[in-house]
Structure 1
Amino acid sequence: MTANNAARRVRADARLSIERILTAAQQVFSVDPSASLTEVANQAGVTRATVHRHFPSRQTLLDALVRDLNTRYLDAFEQARVESTPPLIALYRLTEAAFELKTSHPFTITLTPTTRSPGSPASDPRIQEKLDTLFARLHASGDITADDPTWCRKVYLALFAEVYDLPADAPTLRTAVTADASTLDARVGLTLTTLLGALGGSPPGR
């Protein structure tokens, strides 16, 4: 094995360890936010020293969890093609992906901005900018009448959080979709129907 191949193998192993640690941390902290790094290491199947090598402190691990989730959100924007796809379709795809991420990363979502932590994805300026771009496109296409993207973003994020907190059997979830729709579809449908009504638009065609 050449030196270059060996170096690539080391980097690949390190990335795999980091992914395992981040996944384990999400699982462990979702059950017990005060869990130790040793518990995270046990869940990840690595040593405590391995966790400490990548994340010297609990705070660096928390920061990494937020960065990882932010990256996933940014990837969702790319997948939704919010700058080129018809904006209503992009909004639907993005909202669907956001609910999936929020469900799969319950602990990270609870992290709030502090002087030592980058905070939740909603506080990331890159995500805010992309949402503002999407709402500007929705206004330009005539899908909404509200013309302030920042206000639209704030309404969207607040509504998104409220819909996410609804229990799965909430009657309200069934107002915008068919009775046999999945819980995910129901949440997306309720979010978009309510949002577009509030912003002076019409629900997207299904």
Structure 2
Amino acid sequence: MGRALRADAERSVRAILEAAERVLAQDAGASMEQIAEAAGLTRITVHRRFANRQALLEALAVSAKQQLIEAIEDARPDAAPALVALYRVTANTLRVKSTWRFTLGHATPHTETAAALWDDINARTLRLLARAQGEGLIAPDADLKWTRQVYIALLSEAINRPDGDQDPDALANLVIDTLLHGAGPHD
């Protein structure tokens, strides 16, 4: 979809992506026809926008990752103290992840575009963690790539928590507290 879409086509694509996310979260094997029905569109319209299921999954991956980048940008991670920025990025990320549970929770082959977006997300996360390290929130000798992996795992665990609070702000507190202090006693 290299060129800009007309407003009605853009609405159709958005409706298809939203419906696909909902339907696939319930049934990962759902058909294009089921997705079309959930979007209130014909199967032909869905196939006009997405040639096949793989193209739809790729569009979901790109859209979800673009929203993650927007969530990170909205948190203004370079303008606030690292702890505030880390909290804001975490809460915003959890909001996006709760909307895109299927897409962000399932490994799908990355297109070049999706892979580039993921690389950008990883780079932004590393920059924020480096700021946190520079401000003394993270040990000076901590491996930041490992810390990023732990952070991502904590985000996934928080969003998939079967019981307890699903409020993104409360979960962000839990993630940040666990990342920075672990499960040990607090001084």
TM-score (norm 1): 0.78
Task: Provide the aligned length of Structure 1 versus Structure 2.
Answer: 179
Distance 1:162 1:77 in 2: 19
Where does structure 2 lack aligned partners over 5 or more consecutive residues?
none
Shift of 1:28: 0.9
1:59/1:117 contact within 8 Å kept: no
1:111/1:120 contact within 8 Å kept: no
Asked if 1:195 corresponds to 2:161, the answer is no
Change (3 A) 1:164 1:118: farther
Asked if 1:137 corresponds to 2:121, the answer is no
Asked if 1:94 corresponds to 2:78, the answer is no
Distance 1:67 1:155 in 2: 23
Shift of 1:52: 0.6
Deviation digits for residues 58-114 of structure 1, max 9, x if unmatched?
A: 000001001000000000111011122221111111111111122121111222143
Question: For 1:157, which of 148, 152, 158 is the aligned residue?
Answer: 152
TM-score (norm 2): 0.85
1:133/1:149 contact within 8 Å kept: no
Distance 1:105 1:58 in 2: 17
> 1:33-48 counterparts in 2 under 5 A?
33-48=28-43
- Structure 1 or 2, whichever has the larger Rg, is 1
Q: Which has the higher contact order (CA 8 A, sep 6+)?
A: 2
2:23/2:38 contact within 8 Å kept: yes
Partner residue in 1 for 2:24? 29
Shift of 1:145: 1.6
> 1:11-30 counterparts in 2 under 5 A?
11-30=6-25
Question: For 1:125, which of 119, 123, 146 is the aligned residue?
Answer: 119
Shift of 1:184: 3.0
1:144/1:196 contact within 8 Å kept: yes
Q: RMSD across aligned C-alpha pairs, in angstroms?
A: 2.6
The letter of the residue matching 2:171 is R
2:92/2:168 contact within 8 Å kept: no
The letter of the residue matching 1:80 is A
3-state DSSP of counterpart to 2:73:
helix
Distance 1:120 1:163 in 2: 24
The letter of the residue matching 2:118 is D
Distance 2:155 2:61 in 1: 19
The letter of the residue matching 1:185 is D
Where does structure 1 lack aligned partners over 5 or more consecutive residues?
1-7, 174-181
Distance 1:101 1:15 in 2: 20
1:28/1:43 contact within 8 Å kept: yes
> 1:41-120 counterparts in 2 under 5 A?
41-114=36-109
Distance 1:83 1:148 in 2: 21
* Runs of 4+ residues over 6 Å off in structure 1: 118-121
Shift of 1:162: 2.5
Shift of 1:163: 2.8
Asked if 1:184 corresponds to 2:179, the answer is no
